[in-house]
Structures are given as structure tokens and as C-alpha cells.
Amino acid sequence: MAMVGLFWIGEDSVYVGAEPVGAASGVRLTEAGVETLGAGRGRFWAWDEVVRIRTDGVPVRSGARRMASMAFDAVLVAVTGYGELPPAFLLEVVTAEETVEVTVQAAVAGGFYQPSEYELSTALLERLADGAAEVGDLLAWGRDHAAEGTPPREEREALLRKWAGG
């Protein structure tokens, strides 16, 4: 799997944030629609039902602040032997009838996203929700490249721009 912006992309799956494990909550995007996962979740909406997908509380930091935070976390784990789960954020799936909030874990190393990748990711979520972009494009890339791991930042941003149509 590979991380591109807010998306964790595999050969056959696209998640917003990290892929949930066990009873953890998460969101999977498919060509058919949006699916919430985890204990007590199990909801699905076809793309034509989705009005908007919003994020709230996404951990965003500039490159320098992110590197300092990662260095501090590495020292803390080395000294104490304990680490923390990546930061979580909210994803809201909005339909004509309801708004459903799902907590997802950040998938990025260090737990903080670059501002540019965050902005491009939210633009892509908007375009997916309004039908102007297709999850199939992310899945096609995943089939061809996800096994190689997360690409460099410049490539991630170029992919997000392409997928978001900008």
C-alpha cells in the first residue's frame, strides 16, 4: 500500500486515512461509493447519494515542524519504549438525509500531513463527491504502483493534482 495525501491506496482498496484494523473505525472509497468500517459502523452510500465529504481536525504541519515532531517522537520511543497511535481526524460523509462522522487515523509517517497535500486531498474529496473525479483512477494507480510503497512528495502532489483535475 502507498500513502498519497490523505489516501491510503492499495491494489484493490482506497482508504481515507489509515486502513482500519480490528474494530477501529475507518472509511473506504470504492468505485460504487463510500463505506464506513469498524465496530458498529458498516454503512454504505452510493456516489449519487453523497453530497459532500469533509474533514475536520486533520493534523497538518509544515515540513520543518513535522520533522521536529518526528524527531521528538523517535527520541521519546527510544527512551521510554512507548509510542503513540497516529493522530486521528474526523471525516464527515454528507448526504441529503444525514451527516455521518467517522474517526480515522492519519496514515502519514509522523502523523502530520503537509499543507499542500492536505489542500489537494480535500479538493479531490470534493470532486469525488460531486462526480467530477473517479475512485477508479486511484485504484488503477494502486494496481500499478502501490506495491512500490509511498512515492516522493513531489510525485504525490502531482498525482493529487491530476486526480483532482487541477
pLDDT digits (tens, 9 = 90+) for 12-51: 999 999 999 888 899 999 999 999 998 777 899 999 999 9
The predicted model gives 47-65 an average pLDDT of 85
Report DSSP state, residue 113: B
Percent of the chain, pLDDT > 70?
A: 84
Q: Where are the domains of the chain?
A: 2-159
Pairing of strands 26-29, 33-37: antiparallel
Instruction: Give the pLDDT of residue 83.
Output: 54
Residue 99, Cα to own-chain centre: how many angstroms?
19
Distance separating the N- and C-terminal Cα atoms of the chain: 24
pLDDT digits (tens, 9 = 90+) for 92-131: 999 999 999 999 999 887 778 999 999 999 999 999 999 9
Using an 8 Å Cβ cutoff, are 85 and 110 in contact? Answer: no
Q: Which of 110, 117, 11, 109 is nearest to 55 (CA)?
A: 117
